[in-house]
């Protein structure tokens, strides 16, 4: 029998989702329009014209979904709150039905002894605030803080773990620089401003929630990371990797943990950056209790002076890639976690997302044999275990995602779930990976080797 790698006692195993990706009920019970409602209803923006109007219909299936989580043995569940469900206009009048929806969800989780982790912002900004400029408008940072206080007031007696933002880098870069996400703006100046206001809103919210919530509360933020590796051993590629790291990883890390932007970024965006107020920088660096880490893949970069960034990403011929065309590189998780602990020393870390999309097939008999996903998760769990042995204060792991869902610009064409969703009927069908994960949780760790495959070798 292969050895089992046991995680520390109290380590939390769970899964994550986000409001727009699963809830549906996009215009029900007083909810206001979000930028993703507007964007997905705009022809040509989303693969196949998909929208989140119905998504997984989670809004109407909360009882069933919490029962499913309990059956899988989840100990923690990370979900996000839809801001326009709480405040249809982003500010002002509160929609009582919105609060009640999350109130019921939290109660059900508590009944099932599943710890809730709440993300306050996972990209569905109220459209009314976008009409004022969205995150490029400084006022929105304060509207966010006020919205967060309303939610904290309603759920803070039961919710102990709060995440201000999910992947603010994606909000700023994909939403305002490349425009492939809502609100679909392609303007570097607006992106740099959006990033600044997202960071400010994070810091202001941490300060505000500390006043409202009790001492047992844990406050954090979730960042997406793409560790940068040089394509060759040339000094030029080493510099390229440093620039890529500043852009992809340190843009948000440095202000939060060090109170300043990385130098390389100030050079790259010399025309867009301004003399930021020291008060803003101090606010962003408000102490947090944990860092949420979203890791899927790495980037391998080659110096390229013809690019504004000074580099470009290259494909690794010998590697395997997921259905997102993301390289499978578990070693990157170990490198990332140990680096974060060494360079930034967060009080605690959680992997708030890790998982993979593959071309799942629903077989007759309603079975999905997703061995590739099992291998992917297994190999990453092993690397997380190694990181803990190396001294990383990793406290929990959330698989992305609990169920297949609306994968943003890719619509429903990419499946990340450990539970398959039949979009015709919204039926939930646990994949083989869900059963496998159930056993990992029950045993508090994976086997060192998985069926002779996925041995953690990278
Ligand atoms: O689906 C997304 C999620 O919303 C944010 N992190 C990455 C996931 C996969 O792309």
Residue 424 — φ and ψ, nearest 5°?
-70, -40
Question: Cα separations (Å) of 447 from 55, 65, 181?
Answer: 35, 28, 39
| Confidence band of 160 (pLDDT split at 50, 70, 90) | very high
Please determine, for residue 455, whether its predicted confidence score (pLDDT) is greater than 50: no
Which protein residue has the closest C-alpha to ligand 1 atom 2?
407
Residue 45 CB partners (closer than 8 Å, separation 6+) = 39, 182, 184, 409
Ligand 1 binding site (Cβ under 6 Å of any ligand atom): 18, 21, 167, 294, 353, 400, 407, 416
Give, for ligand 1, the residue of 401, 406, 411, 415 to mutate: max count of ligand atoms closer than 8 Å to Cβ. 401
Closest approach atom of ligand 1 to CA 122: 4
State the distance from the centre of ligand 1 to the C-alpha of 407, rounded, in angstroms: 7
Pairing of strands 218-225, 161-166: parallel
Q: What is the DSSP letter of 367?
A: B
Closest approach atom of ligand 1 to CA 355: 9
**Residues paired with 397 in a beta bridge:** 13, 351
Give the dihedral of Cα atoms 437, 401, 222, 301; nearest 10 deg: 100
Average pLDDT for 412-436: 98
Residue 427 CB partners (closer than 8 Å, separation 6+) = 421
Closest approach atom of ligand 1 to CA 405: 1
Instruction: Tell the burial category of 380 from Cβ atoms under 10 Å away from its Cβ (0-12, 13-18, 19+).
Output: buried
Give pLDDT, residue 456. Answer: 34
Among 415, 395, 398, 418, smallest CA distance to 407 is for 415
Distance between alpha carbon 125 and the CA centroid of its chain, in Å? Answer: 16
**Which one is catalytic: 33, 327, 353, 386?**
353
Please determine, for residue 458, whether its predicted confidence score (pLDDT) is greater than 90: no
Which protein residue has the closest C-alpha to ligand 1 atom 4?
18
Give pLDDT, residue 452. Answer: 47
Give pLDDT, residue 450. Answer: 74
Give pLDDT, residue 151. Answer: 99
Separation of alpha carbons 245 and 262, rounded Å = 10
Residue 382 CB partners (closer than 8 Å, separation 6+) = 5, 330, 446, 448, 456
What count of other Cβ atoms lies within 10 Å of the Cβ of residue 13? 22
**Residues paired with 79 in a beta bridge:** 118
- Concerning whether 450 is annotated as a catalytic residue, the answer is no
State the distance from the centre of ligand 1 to the C-alpha of 16, rounded, in angstroms: 10
| Confidence band of 457 (pLDDT split at 50, 70, 90) | very low
State the distance from the centre of ligand 1 to the C-alpha of 292, rounded, in angstroms: 13
Q: Which two tokens stand for residue 189?
A: 């100046």
| Confidence band of 229 (pLDDT split at 50, 70, 90) | very high
Supply the mean pLDDT for the chain.
97
| Confidence band of 453 (pLDDT split at 50, 70, 90) | low
Q: Which two tokens stand for residue 175?
A: 């939403």
Pairing of strands 115-121, 161-166: parallel
Residue 86 CB partners (closer than 8 Å, separation 6+) = 94, 95, 98, 99, 102, 147, 150, 151
State the distance from the centre of ligand 1 to the C-alpha of 442, rounded, in angstroms: 26
What is the C-alpha end-to-end distance of the chain, expressed in Å? 23
State the distance from the centre of ligand 1 to the C-alpha of 18, rounded, in angstroms: 9
State the distance from the centre of ligand 1 to the C-alpha of 408, rounded, in angstroms: 8
pTM for this one? 0.98
Give, for ligand 1, the residue of 165, 408, 409, 421 to mutate: max count of ligand atoms closer than 8 Å to Cβ. 408
Angle between helices 331-344 and 371-389 (to 10 degrees): 30
Please determine, for residue 444, whether its predicted confidence score (pLDDT) is greater than 70: yes
* Token pair 């939290």 in the structure block, residue: 106
Give, for ligand 1, the residue of 400, 402, 409, 412 to mutate: max count of ligand atoms closer than 8 Å to Cβ. 400
* Token pair 């700023």 in the structure block, residue: 172
Which protein residue has the closest C-alpha to ligand 1 atom 10?
407
Closest approach atom of ligand 1 to CA 416: 9
Helix boundaries (H) for 92-234: 96-111, 127-130, 139-155, 168-172, 188-212
Q: Which fold has domain 12-443?
A: TIM Barrel (3.20.20)
State the distance from the centre of ligand 1 to the C-alpha of 77, rounded, in angstroms: 16
State the distance from the centre of ligand 1 to the C-alpha of 452, rounded, in angstroms: 30
- Concerning whether 236 is annotated as a catalytic residue, the answer is no
Give domain limits for the chain: 12-443
**Which one is catalytic: 23, 33, 167, 386?**
167
Give, for ligand 1, the residue of 34, 353, 354, 398 to mutate: max count of ligand atoms closer than 8 Å to Cβ. 353
Closest approach atom of ligand 1 to CA 224: 6
């Amino acid at each position: 029998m292969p050895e089992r790698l046991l995680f520390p006692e109290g380590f939390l195993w769970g899964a994550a989702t986000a409001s727009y990706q699963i809830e549906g009920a996009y215009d029900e019970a007083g909810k206001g329009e979000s930028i993703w409602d507007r964007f997905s209803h705009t022809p040509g923006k989303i693969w196949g014209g998909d929208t989140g109007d119905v998504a997984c219909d989670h809004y109407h299936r909360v009882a069933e979904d919490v029962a499913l989580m309990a059956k899988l043995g989840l100990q923690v569940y990370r979900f996000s709150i839809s801001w326009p469900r709480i405040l249809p206009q982003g500010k002002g009048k509160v929609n009582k039905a919105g609060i009640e929806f999350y109130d019921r969800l939290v109660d059900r989780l508590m009944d099932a002894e599943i710890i809730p982790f709440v993300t306050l912002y996972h990209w569905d900004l109220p459209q009314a605030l976008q009409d004022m400029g969205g995150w490029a408008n400084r006022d929105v940072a304060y509207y966010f803080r006020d919205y967060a206080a309303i939610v904290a007031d309603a759920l803070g007696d039961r919710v102990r773990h709060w995440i201000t933002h999910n992947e603010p880098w994606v909000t700023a870069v994909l939403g305002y620089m490349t425009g492939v996400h809502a609100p679909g703006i392609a303007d570097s100046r607006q992106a740099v401003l959006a990033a600044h206001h997202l960071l400010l809103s994070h810091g202001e919210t941490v300060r505000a929630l500390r006043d409202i919530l009790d001492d047992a509360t844990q406050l954090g933020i979730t960042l997406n990371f793409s560790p940068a590796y040089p394509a060759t051993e040339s000094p030029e590629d080493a510099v390229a990797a440093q620039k890529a790291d500043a852009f992809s990883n340190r843009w948000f890390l440095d202000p939060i943990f060090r109170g300043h932007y990385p130098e390389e970024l100030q050079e790259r965006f010399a025309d867009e950056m301004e003399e930021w107020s020291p008060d803003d920088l101090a606010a962003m660096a408000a102490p947090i209790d944990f860092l949420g880490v979203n890791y899927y893949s790495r980037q391998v970069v080659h110096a390229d002076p013809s690019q504004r960034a000074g580099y470009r990403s290259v494909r690794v011929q010998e590697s395997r890639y997921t259905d997102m065309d993301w390289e499978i590189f578990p070693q990157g998780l170990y490198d990332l976690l140990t680096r974060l602990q060494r360079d930034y020393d967060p009080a605690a870390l959680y992997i708030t997302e890790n998982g993979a999309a593959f071309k799942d097939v629903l077989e007759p008999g309603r079975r999905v044999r997703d061995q590739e996903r099992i291998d992917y998760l297994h190999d990453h769990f092993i690397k997380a275990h190694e990181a803990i042995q190396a001294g990383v204060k990793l406290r929990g792991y959330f698989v992305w995602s609990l169920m297949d869902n609306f994968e943003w610009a890719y619509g429903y064409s990419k499946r990340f779930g450990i539970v398959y969703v039949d979009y015709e009927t919204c039926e939930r069908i646990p994949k083989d990976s869900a059963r496998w994960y159930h056993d990992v949780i029950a045993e508090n760790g994976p086997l060192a080797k998985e069926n002779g495959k996925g041995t953690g070798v990278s």
